[in-house]
């Protein structure tokens, strides 16, 4: 395959990864809607849509391995394909974390019953989606500046997580323990989504600069 044709395949791979990222984003929006109002039909759509996301992940992962085996890319091309593989893994994990929350549909009334913790969860969902969308924009534009913006952006989520834990410890009543456990599942998932968005940013910084120091920030 000629250089121009191979470059075209890499561009197509980048767009396909972006498409998967958009599908994940759509499920994140469904998660936010479900969390805000408890609409189980939205949760069911999110669960069904995850099958498409998983199928895309498998197909694109196989595509990356095929390109490596067939073209034996080097330098920046190899860095791109390997980075695409890492980003695909992060997208798949964000999708799974989204499902952890929508699978709480049977317990939504319990989550909603404690206003002090429920409001924090809703705010955390906004933070998680905003961080993820910043990572999506950075990947779509292959923009180093946007990728840099993801550095240190988990501080707001860390503060929200600490506040949530304090409120959970103060819960009283017969349903305090089950409510705390379900709320903790949702809060932890939202916190991890921010972590995975940061990893996408770190991988993109490595892809664009070739500086291996960025890989150290992928460790969570």
| Predicted confidence (pLDDT) at residue 219 exceeds the cutoff of 60 | no
Whether residue 140 has pLDDT greater than 60: yes
Residue 163 · residue 119 · CB < 8 Å: no
Six-digit token string for 89:
């893994």
Tally of domains in the chain: 1
Nearest Cα residue to 128 out of 46, 189, 190: 190
Band of residue 152 on the pLDDT scale cut at 50, 70, 90:
confident
pLDDT for position 6: 83
pLDDT at 5 over 90: no
Under a CB-based contact definition with an 8 Å cutoff, are residues 185 and 100 in contact?
yes
CATH code: domain of residue 104? 1.20.58.220
* Residue percentage of the chain with pLDDT more than 70: 97
Q: Give me the mean pLDDT over the 151-165 stretch.
A: 91
Whole domain around residue 46: which residue ranges? Answer: 3-218
pLDDT value of position 15 = 95
Q: Is the pLDDT of residue 220 over 60?
A: no
**Average pLDDT of every residue of the chain:** 93
Measured CA to CA, the distance from residue 61 to residue 4 in angstroms comes to: 22
> Using an 8 Å Cβ cutoff, are 204 and 83 in contact?
yes
Tokens of 62: 């196989």
Mean predicted confidence (pLDDT) in 206-216 = 87
Residues of the chain above pLDDT 90, percent:
85
């Amino acid at each position: 395959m000629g250089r121009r044709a191979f470059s075209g395949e890499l561009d197509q791979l980048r767009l396909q990864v972006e498409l998967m990222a958009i599908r994940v984003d759509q499920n994140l929006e469904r998660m936010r809607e479900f969390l805000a109002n408890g609409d189980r039909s939205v949760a069911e759509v999110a669960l069904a849509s995850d099958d498409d996301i998983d199928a895309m992940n498998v197909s694109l992962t196989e595509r990356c391995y095929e390109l490596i085996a067939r073209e034996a890319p080097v330098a920046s091309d190899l860095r791109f394909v390997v980075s695409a593989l890492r980003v695909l893994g992060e997208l798949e994990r964000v999708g799974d974390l989204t499902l952890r929350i929508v699978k709480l549909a049977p317990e939504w009334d319990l989550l909603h019953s404690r206003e002090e913790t429920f409001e924090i969860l809703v705010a955390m969902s906004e933070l998680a989606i905003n961080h993820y969308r910043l990572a999506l924009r950075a990947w779509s534009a292959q923009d180093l500046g946007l990728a840099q913006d993801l550095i240190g952006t988990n501080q707001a989520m860390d503060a929200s997580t600490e506040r949530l834990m304090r409120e959970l410890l103060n819960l009283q009543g017969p349903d305090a323990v089950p409510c705390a456990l379900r709320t903790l599942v949702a809060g932890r998932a939202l916190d991890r989504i921010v972590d995975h968005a940061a990893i996408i940013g770190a991988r993109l910084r490595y892809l664009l600069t070739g500086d291996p120091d960025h890989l150290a920030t992928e460790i969570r």
